[in-house]
Structure 1
Amino acid sequence: MTLTSDDRAEMLERIRTTLSAGPLGRLGLWVVDNGRRTAVLWMFVVIGLGLFAPQVESSLSGAGWQDDGSESVAARKLAQEHFGGNASSALQVVVTGDSVLTGRGAQVIARATQILAADPRVSDVVAPTPGATVSRDVRTAVLLGGARGDTNEMVAAASDLKGPLTALSGHGVQVEVTGASALWSDFNESNLKAMLTSELLSWPVTMAILVLAFGTLVAAGLPLLLTLAGLVASAGSLVLITHVVPVSIWAMNFAMMFALALGIDYALFLVVRFRAARQELDVRPAVAATMDTAGKAILLSGATVLVSLSAVMLVPSPAFRSAAGGIMLAVVFVLGATLTLLPLVLAKLDRRLDRLALPWSQHQRATSPRFAAWAERLANRPALYGGAALAVLALLAAPVVGLRTSMPSIAVLPHDATARVGYDQVQAAFGPGAPAALQVVVPGDQVAAATRVLRSEDGIAMAFPAQPADDGSGFALIQAMPTSGPTSAALSATVDRLRADLPPGALVGGAAVENLDLAAELDAATPVVIAVVLALGFLLLVFALQAPLIALLGTLTSLLSVGAAFGIARLVFQEGWGSGLLGFDAQGFLDAWAPVFFFAMIFAIAMDYTAFLLASAKEHYERTGDPREAMVAALAHSGRVVFAAGAVMVAVFFTFALSGPLPPKEMGIVLGVAVLVDAFLVRLVLLPVLLRLTGRAAWWAPSWLRRVLPEIRFSHG
């Protein structure tokens, strides 16, 4: 075969382009040159994993909010194993009426007993006992369905059985299912509805912002490609993982949000850079230049997100670990699609990206004149704008000083949820401490001593006779009713005193105590997680930017966003500001899992924007050597992307504050405020100001550090 001069010229050009490209640029060129292979691979991934995706809601677990190493979890396991499933995860069926032990009430209890006994996940069914689980006026009785399955199976059992059980209501008798398993069942159902409603509310706003940001309808649809690929692949993967370990339903909930948010961020950054490069270069060189600049920043961003979320794995709670793992899985798939599938789509669409352009679109501009002008303003008066931003951030963060946390109360459920109705009925019939019943498992020879301690404790209203294990294990179970409710500080003090005074070998458990133990573990783990996240984020930025000072400032400024978000969260959820507008009952505290989990998520998002801005600044500093010009050019090139991505995230997160139970509202407000503050105050004002004020020192690194680290450049060519 004889090559023509044009063929030889094209081949030489392809070789030069490949040789001048960096690792990510060569990846982009390989993807373009092997488009069919890349497309087929992604088809196999999406279709193969997508076959399992429809099972995600039914496969993921509804429980797991516990401290695996706690005394209360150990007590629950012993109660389940040796006492007919009479554990904290047992089903509680509340029957109310004029006289629940006779007539229609007795018939309903008998039928409810049959329904419970027929389910293989239910162990012993304990009939209502006068003096214990029958109220003095005989108008309320509690039927207990022992837990044979684990906590996730019992949540599923509550979901399956509450329909048939509540259907027994009528003719003056009411039946409700309550207890920890029913609570999580109701909460997961309400949360799923809220997530779906929020998605429906957020999509129109998201699409409008994307169209405005991209300027064309074709380009605006690209983030949907990444989001769809990432969501389908991660959902299918989560289903497969459930065959090895339980995965919390929250893993998919959070993964949906992050897949959408990051898919939009990454698509914006890559598409904007490709369109700018395409003005001066042919398709292949434009892809290589895009991947070597924007692609490198996206890889840094994805790495910081993964590093931040990995620290949550330090919390010994299945729900926390699987939720963080689910988000990380979605990030990996979205990142993979961004760095492989999106370059191929960009090369194939090429000029057709600008089809269906808006009349006022300025998509031919490589930089934003508005953000260039804003950068010049910041550069000319850095102290003024930096001081104003700091003052606003300090004002927003001030309320965080009085923030209180506790595990969620029954108030997280809608008023008509069966678990909440049953809870209120139990509390009205048996006293405020009835829903917080304690289970004390003791060796048989310590029953008398443990009973004396319980009956002498001021925080215990009633201690029931010990129940010996009928399997010969030698254990005994003492159930006690405290004087205070599940979320009161008095209950925590009572449990602390009991654990100090009870004989060695006694284990104090119960659903409320499990919450207390998890809250204590979270309080202990939060400083560790924060320290690890900050350290890993700083080290990653130092590795990528090779500039310790700006890496430190970029990391620490994220704390300002966190402080502002939790300051607002205290006013809204602890003090009740706006509770009527948002439709929730203030608990007087923020849920205990929020600080550690939301900190990791906020930090991940903040470092996402930090990576974009600093990578762009480093790119221009490498080209010009002028720190002022680098700051101005970074805002001119990436400011529009940060602004648009932040606007989309705020829209997505704030929709969660409009529907559903309390935790999604907390998530929406905390993350929405964090993104609002971080994108528009920290990354578009404060961090550029710090770049301006530190000048060349921002990019200085000691010689020993440069010798240790590999050279990483963000400029192309």
Structure 2
Amino acid sequence: MSSSAATVKPSKPIQHRPGALGRLGLWAVRHTKAVLIGWLIVVIGLGAFAPKVTSALSGAGWQADGSDSVKVRQLAEQHFAGNASSALQIVVSADRPVTDAPVAQVIDRAERLAAADPRVSGVLAPQPGATISPDGRTAVLLAGAKASPDDMVRAADDLKGPLAALSGDGIQVHATGASVLWSDFNTANHDAMMKSEFMSWPVTLGILVLAFGSLVAAGLPLLLTMAGLAASAGSLVLISHLFPVSVWAMNFAMMFALALGIDYALFLVVRFRAARAGRERDTARAVAETMDTAGKAVLLSGATVLVSLSAVMLVPSPAFRSMAGGIMLAVLFVLGATLTLLPALLGRLGHRIDALALPWARRGEHESARFAAWGERLWRQPLRHGALALVALLALAAPVIGLRTAMPSITVLPGDASARAGYTAVQQAFGAGAPGTLQILTPAGQAAEAAAKVAGTPGIAGVLPAQPAADGTGWAMIQAVPTVDPSDPALSGTVHALRAELPHGSLVGGAAVENLDLQHLLTEKTPLVIGVVLGLGFVLLLVALRAPLIAALGTAASLLSTGAAFGTARLVFQDGHGAGLLGFHPQGFLDGWAPVFFFAMIFAIAMDYTVFLLASAKEQYERTGDPHRAMVGALARSGRVVFAAAAVMVAVFFTFALSGPLPPKEMGIVLGVAVLLDAALIRLVLLPVMLRLAGHAAWHTPAWLRRVLPEITFSH
């Protein structure tokens, strides 16, 4: 110990009586049968609903609640025979005029097929000059929406196949529109996510076996993950009967349950083996010590993850809220299993935790000599290593300055998807902006004035005559075709001009405008979500560590990995570097939902590692009062766990980068790069360097703050 540290006494004497979590662990050990039966009931009871998760969860919900475009859709559903953005468009294109008898028969069969679906309010036949192309070879039928947007996506699921089956003899039939787009995307996304999950399991098991050196120990994290997945999937199905839940909630829940479940189990199992190694201590006491140290860190980490994701609830969009809720539910189940089921299993296994061990697993080492040596190296040369890590992170983060975001374009769908094929046929027959037709609702008395203003607005290619509401409610609908593709940034200027110039009370909507309104909402809410996540993350670290300086530094460091991940995303997905290797065509922007949602997810994962490392350092400092031993001891005890956990997460996330649709690729690359950089450069370099440079100040608590904060200790 250095001379400056020799006079410093441990902040609290070592505790020998189990704390609250230690007592929970002892209870689980003494009531193993009850714990196992309880979890068996939960998993079987909720897991029975899990197979229904794909069909029960919804595909829509990507909207800005309260926006003008959502109001237009709702009014159109009620007063214009379902001619809303959620209506289905049936595109019939042929190598001859659509008035020819064979084509007319196909159109008639398509009309009857759609009209038979109870979710369709009625089918509007093709109209010359409106929904029949100028060359007469493409016709569009409109199947009105009689159900919610989620149910219209399900209607698309059921109808697009039978409609496509009508194709033949030079006639092509495709369902398209927003509902079909989400139907196709959800199908492609679900298939890709499942493929990624199956690819990740063998890799995960291999990493766990290498990390634990024991097949039995390696199997525990997977057992916990499966229990959490089954319970959360069944819960989502039950919750979907109360309010719509996005199918993406299950996709993200699966990914997070796998990653965090393994993280938490790694930390507890490694600490349990350390508690038993070379000591005359019974298994129950080892479990209690594990829970009072590693268990406390896991609980605080889980709380940080939940708090980070809860900030996404500030975005008033059903899809975002249900996705965040789905992940939080999975985290709760995994956390519950980690703090109850895992202690019970550890108590039952005891020394058999090392059964089926690889040769090196019998050494009983609970501290890594390599990471201890790395810690000593950082202690001797903090500025050199810290500066290199900081420069690398800042260099990777620099491209984020030019990052552009927008809602996904039609190109995220496979080329043979129904929605994309119909979209392309409409563009070829009616013009680039036809798939993004705008719907303007205006008081009927102002319809003529509004139509004139729409026709005179730059960016509008054509305007259909105003149609009064059939139920006489005083509304009129004007449909306008833009000059540009719905994903073209110029469309935003056209919509803004319309909203500024149209008569008072007019509303501008349509599927493309709903995307623009959602993008605007996300841009508006992103700073708020980031601020709340950072603020709550700091408060949780402060409460856990009772050390304001290192809590602030740990929170700020998380911004570096986030910035570097989004800088990399800009290079890959906006500029197209590596697009050929990953098998996608760049859109020229990052999907608009990525910054707010991925930031919360990255921060949650980053704080996961921060809590693990700093909790271990705090434990060492409480024991010795020596910042040197605290920093080096934290790396020796936690470095290998952080490294192994990060390897699992990177493997899981990068398998998503191999998936078909573009959004899973974005998710896999952004999250994988963030975890890789966070573990390698921040948690294993920059954060220890901060502890080295801060010294005793890192753990100093002002007297007034000690009186306010609860007393949480990690030493045992």
Give the TM bin, normalised by the shorter chain: over 0.9
1:448, CA displacement in angstroms?
A: 1.2
Q: Is the 8 A contact 2:32 2:348 kept in 1?
A: no
Q: Which digits, 9 at most, give the CA deviation of each residue in 1:210-265, with x for residues without a partner?
A: 00000011110001111011001101110110111100001000000000000100
User: 1:152-203: per-residue Cα shift (whole Å, max 9, x none)?
Assistant: 0000000100010000000110011111000000000000110111112111
Give 1:103's aligned residue.
101
Within the candidate set 54, 58, 62, 1:61 is matched to: 58
The residue type paired with residue 75 of structure 1 is: V
SS at match of 2:393: helix
1:169 alignment partner, SS class: coil
Q: Please give the residue correspondences for 1:78-477 in structure 2 after superposition, counting only pairs within 5 Å.
A: 78-97=75-94, 98-279=96-277, 280=279, 281-361=281-361, 364-477=364-477
Partner in structure 2 of residue 627 of structure 1: 627
Task: Report the Cα offset of residue 505 of structure 1.
Answer: 0.7
When the two chains are superposed, the root-mean-square deviation of aligned CA atoms in Å is 1.0
Instruction: Tell me, yes or no, if structure 1 residue 23 matches structure 2 residue 16.
Output: no
Of all paired residues, the percent bearing the same amino acid is 70
Per the normalisation by structure 2, the TM-score is 0.97
d(CA) in 2 for partners of 1:214, 1:297? 20
Cα deviation digits, residues 550-597 of structure 1 (max 9, x gap)? 000000000001001000100110011111111111100000000000
Kindly provide the amino acid, as one letter, of the partner of residue 168 in structure 1. L
Given that 2:354 and 2:361 are in contact with CA atoms closer than 8 Å, whether structure 1 keeps it comes out as no
Query: Aligned residue for 1:11?
Result: none
What is the CA–CA distance in structure 2 between the aligned matches of 1:673 and 1:420, rounded to whole Å?
Answer: 31
**What is the total number of aligned residue pairs between the two structures?**
700
- Which sections of structure 1, spanning at least 5 residues, go unmatched? 1-16
| Equivalent in the alignment of 2:594 | 594
User: What secondary structure, in the 3-state scheme, does the structure 2 residue paired with 1:92 have?
Assistant: strand
Q: Is the 8 A contact 1:18 1:29 kept in 2?
A: no
CA distance in structure 1 between the partners assigned to 2:240 and 2:447 by the alignment? 40
**Is 1:558 aligned to residue 555 of structure 2?**
no
The CA distance in 2 between the partners of 1:611 and 1:660, in whole Å, is 35
Q: Work out whether residues 407 and 593 of structure 2, in 8 Å CA contact, stay in contact via their aligned partners in 1.
A: yes
Name the amino acid aligned to 1:527: P
- Does residue 651 of the first structure (1) align with residue 648 of the second (2)? no
CA drift at 1:39:
1.3
Give 3-state SS (helix, strand or coil) of 1:221's partner: helix
Deviation at 1:515, TM superposition (A): 0.2
2:29 matched residue in structure 1: 32
> Contact conserved, 2:574 with 2:589, CA < 8 A, in 1?
yes
> What pairs up with 1:462-541 in 2 under 5 angstroms?
462-541=462-541
Cα offset, 1:489, TM superposition? 1.7
Aligned to 1:4: none
Q: Supply the distance in 2 between the matched residues of 1:119 and 1:18 (Cα, whole angstroms).
A: 68
Cα displacement (A) at 1:130: 1.0
Quick one: distance in 2 between partners of 1:521 and 1:101?
45
Amino acid at match of 1:74: K
Q: Quote the residue 2:7 is aligned against.
A: none
Give the Cα separation in 2 of the matches to 1:189 and 1:91: 17
Match runs of 1:568-717 below 5 Å = 568-716=568-716
How big is the shift at 1:361? 3.0
Name the CA distance, whole Å, in 2 between partners of 1:223 and 1:57.
25
What amino acid does structure 2 have at the position aligned with 1:218? V
Tell me the SS of whatever aligns to 1:175. Answer: strand
Shift of 1:362: 5.5
Q: Deviations over 1:309-353 (max 9, x none)?
A: 000000000000000000000000000000000001011111111
- Separation in 1, partners of 2:667, 2:468: 44
The answer on whether the counterparts of 1:399 and 1:571 sit within 8 Å (CA) in structure 2 is: yes
**1:215 touches 1:363 (CA, 8 Å); kept in 2?**
no
Cα distance in 2 for residues equivalent to 1:196 and 1:328: 20
Q: How far has the Cα of 1:82 moved from its partner?
A: 0.3
Equivalent residue, structure 1, for 2:10: none
Structure 2: unaligned runs, 5 residues or longer: 1-13
What is the DSSP-based 3-state SS (H/G/I as helix, E as strand, rest coil) of the residue aligned with 2:481?
Answer: strand
Matched position secondary structure for 1:360: helix
Q: TM-score, normalised by structure 1?
A: 0.97
User: SS of the residue aligned with 1:132?
Assistant: coil
Q: Is the CA contact 2:177–2:423 (under 8 Å) kept in the aligned structure 1?
A: yes
- Residue 401 and residue 18 in structure 1: after superposition, are their counterparts in 2 closer, same or farther (change >3 A)? closer
Structure 1 stretches (4+) deviating beyond 4 angstroms? none
Q: CA deviation at 1:363?
A: 5.1
Q: 1:619 to 1:18 in 2, by over 3 A?
A: closer
Q: Which residue of 1 aligns with 2:5?
A: none
CA contact (8 A) 1:18 1:26 kept: no
Give how far 1:635 is off.
0.4
C-alpha displacement of 1:101: 2.2
Provide closer, same or farther for how the CA distance between residues 60 and 93 of structure 1 changes in structure 2, counting only shifts above 3 A: same
Structure 1 residues 466-523: Cα deviation after superposition (integer angstroms, max 9, x where no partner): 1111112111111000111111121100000000000011000000000000000000
**Aligned with 1:42: secondary structure?**
helix
Contact 2:443 2:505 (8 Å CA) reproduced: yes
Partner of 1:3: none
For the 8 Å contact 2:354–2:362, the answer to whether it is kept is no
TM-aligned CA deviation for residue 360 of structure 1 = 3.0
Distance 2:362 2:685 in 1: 24
